[in-house]
Structure 1
Amino acid sequence: MDTMDLNLLVALDALLAETSVTGAARRLGLSASAMSRTLTRLRAATGDPLLVRAGRGLVPTPHAIGLRDKVHALTREVQAVLRPSVIDLDLAALDRTFTIRASEAFMDLLSAPVVAAITGAAPRLRLHFAPKLDKTAHPLREGMIDLEIGVLGTSAPEIRSQVLFTDELVGVVRREHPLLVDAAVTPERYAACKHLATFRDGDPAERIDEALERLGLRRSIPVVVPGYPDAMRIARQSDLVALVPRSCLGNRLTRDDDILQGLESFALPLPTPSFKISAIWHPRVDADPAHRWLRETVMAVCRAAYPRRR
C-alpha cells in the first residue's frame, strides 16, 4: 500500500472542481505551495498535465475532463467508506434534509401520502421536492438529488434503481365524447380525433405513433402541455383526446372519482407499451441507514397505491 495515497484522489477532485491551485488549496485547508507540489505528484502519477496555463488561469486537459466525474464519484464513495456508520437509526431524532426529484403527476397523486408517511415517523426530517426537468444522472452523482421517482432514463452504469410498479398509457376524454358514443374505439376513429400531448410523452407515446403509422394513420396534435395533470384538465373541458399513464387515474390512496370527475378513460386500440416506474439513487448512499429508510418508505407508499402493477 506504500504506492497508494488516497489523499491524491481528494486533491485531484478539488483541483478538477476549482481548476485553480489556490482555490483547491483553500477548499482543503492547505497552503498554495503544498497544493502545487501535490499537482506535480498527480501529473507524475497520471502521466498527464491535468491543468495547463491559459492566460492568467488554468484549464483542464481533455484527460482531466474525462476523469472529473469519475474522480468525484470515487472520492464521495471513499469518504462514505471511511466515515463511521450509524447502526441504530433514531427516527424521532433524525434531523436531515432529503431532496426528491419527481414528476408533476407524482406530486399530484402521491406526494401527500409520501409526506405523511415520512414526516409522521421522522418529524424533524425535511423534504424538498425538485421538478423533474430531465433524466440526467448528474444531480444524483453530485448529491443535489437524494432520490428520484420515475422512468429510468439514464445509462449511467453505477446508478441503482428499484421498480415500484409497472404502468401503461390509456386514452382520456370528457364524458359523452363522440369517440366513446355508439361505436367501438378503432385505430381509425382514434386517429381521426384531435389530440393533446405533453412534453414528457417520450418513448411510450412515440411507439403508439409508430403503430399508427404502420396502419397509415397519424394523430393530429394541435395542443402540447407541460404535464399529464394539465392534459387531463384540458381534456375534461374540450373534445381533445389525452394520452396519460394509467396511474394518473388514481390509486388506493387517492379517490378515483375525484380525479376522474367529468372524464372517461379507455384502452388504446393499439399495442400498449408498458413502462416501469422506479426509485432511483446513487450507490454512495446505498448503505446510509437514513437514506435506506427514506427509499423503503417511498417504495412502501407507492406499492400500497398500485399493488396490482408492480
Structure 2
Amino acid sequence: MLSEALLPLLPSLVALIEEQSVTRAATRLCVSQPRLSARLSELRRLLHDDLLVPATGRRGLVPTTRAIALAAAAREALSQLDTAVSGVAFDPLSASRTFTIMANDNASIIAGAPLINAVRSASGPGVRVVLLNYDRARLHTLELGELDLVLASPAQLASLPSLIARTIIRDRFMTVVAAAGHSGGMLDLDEFCARDHIVVSATGGGFDSLIDAELKRLDRSRRLAVSVQSYLVAIELVARSDLVATLPNALLANRPLDVILVEPPIALSSFALSAGWHMRSTNDFAHRWLREQCFAVASLDTTSDYPSERII
C-alpha cells in the first residue's frame, strides 16, 4: 500500500517542505544530505510530483501546490501518532467517555453505587456510566475493550488470562432473619442448623457454600431450602418468611426495617470484592482515572493475604 511506503518518509516530507532546502532539512533531521536527497527522490517517485522545484530568481527551492497540501496532512498524521504514542491526560470535566462496568446486584450496591456517585461528582456531562449485570460469558469483552471494569469476587475473576485484579473491599458475613418472632439475640448453632436457609448462587441453582464447608468440619449441616441468584431477592425472601440467609455485612447496611442481623454461630472467612480489568487498559489515562475513583471509595484491607494487585 502507498500509505505504508510513505509512513517512514513523512518526517522527511514535512522537513523538506518547511525548510525548502535539502541542506537545512538534513541538518534538522540529523541525517546526511545525500541520504535526504535519496528520500526526496523516493517521495517524488511514490507521489508522482516534483514536490520541491527551484525558486525563480533566487537560490533555494519552493514547494509545489500538492506538496503544501501533502505536508499539511503529514503534519496532522504525525501529530496524531505522537499523541497516541505519548498519551493524553484525561480531563473528566471536558472529556466524552462512556465507562462500562459489570457487577452482580451485591457488588453493584456495595462497590458499584459509590463508584458511580464518585464518577458523577468528579466529571462533566460528557462522562457516562453503563452498569451491566454480571455475566461470566461476557468477561472476554474486557480484552476487546467493550468492558472497562468488573466488580466481583476474586473467584469470579480468577479464570480469565491477562486480567489484573485488585481487592477493593473486605467484609464479614452476618446472618439476616425476619424481625417478626425474633428477639434479636444470637442464633446458637443448633437453631442455626435447624432453620431453613437461602443460598445465593452466582451461577444459578447451586447450594454449596463456604458455610457448609465449615459446618461439615464441625460434623454439622443445615437445611438448604432455597437457592437464588440475587442477593436482594434473598433479603426480600427473609423479610417475608421464616427463612434465614448469611450475607455480606456491607450489603445489609441499609437493610429494611423488618429484618435484623445476628452474628453467625460459626467462624467464617471474610468476604471480598475485587475490581478486575484487562492489562490492555492499565496505561490508558481514562481507565486509570476510573480505577482511581474506584479505589478511593473502596474500603481496602491492607492486611489481607490476598494480593492487593496481581495478574491472574
What one-letter code is carried by the residue in structure 2 that aligns with 1:92?
L
- Tell me which residue corresponds to 2:273: 277
1:290 aligns with 2:286: yes
In structure 2, the residue matched to 1:159 is 163
Aligned: 1:94 with 2:95: yes
Following TM superposition, by how much is the alpha carbon of 1:177 offset from its aligned partner in structure 2, in angstroms?
Answer: 4.0
Q: Deviation of residue 99 (structure 1)?
A: 0.7
What is aligned with 1:219? 222
Look up the match of 1:193.
Answer: 195
Contact 2:164–2:279 under 8 Å retained in 1: yes
Summarize the Cα distance change of 1:165–1:118 in structure 2 as closer, same or farther, 3 Å threshold: same
> Contact 2:214/2:268 (CA < 8 Å) preserved in 1?
no
Is this contact kept in 1: 2:104–2:134, CA < 8 A?
yes
Across the two proteins, how many residue pairs are aligned to each other?
221
Instruction: Give identity over the alignment, percent.
Output: 28
In 2, the alpha carbon distance for the partners of 1:162 and 1:86 equals 24
- How far apart are 1:172 and its partner, in Å? 0.4
- Superposed, which structure 2 residues align to 1:137-156 within 5 Å? 137-153=139-155, 154-156=158-160
C-alpha distance 125-237 of structure 1, shift in aligned 2 (>3 A) = same
Match of 1:171 among 169, 172, 175: 175
Task: Compute the displacement of 1:216 (Å).
Answer: 3.4
TM-aligned CA deviation for residue 109 of structure 1: 4.5
Shift of 1:194: 0.9
- Per-residue deviation, 1:204: 11
Q: CA deviation at 1:201?
A: 8.8
Shift of 1:270: 1.2
Give the secondary-structure state (helix, strand or coil) at the position aligned to 1:210: helix
Aligned-partner residue type, residue 229 of structure 1: L
SS at match of 1:100: strand
Indicate how the Cα distance of structure 1 residues 157 and 225 shifts in structure 2: closer, same or farther if over 3 A, else same: closer
TM-score by length of 2: 0.62
Q: 1:130 to 1:244 in 2, by over 3 A?
A: same
**What TM-score do you get using the length of structure 1 for normalisation?**
0.62
Q: Which runs of 5+ in 1 are unaligned?
A: 1-79, 251-255
Amino acid at match of 2:164: R
| 1:245 pairs with 2:248 | yes
Report the Cα offset of residue 292 of structure 1: 0.3
- What residue number does 2:296 align with? 300
Conserved 8 A contact 1:179-1:189: no
Cα offsets for 1:132-152 (capped at 9, x unmatched):
133874222222211011212
After superposing the two structures, state which structure 1 stretch, 145-154 or 83-92, moved more.
83-92
Is the 1:171–1:243 Cα contact (8 Å) retained in structure 2?
A: yes
Structure 2 unaligned residues grouped into runs of 5+: 1-80
CA shift, 1:159, in A, is: 1.2
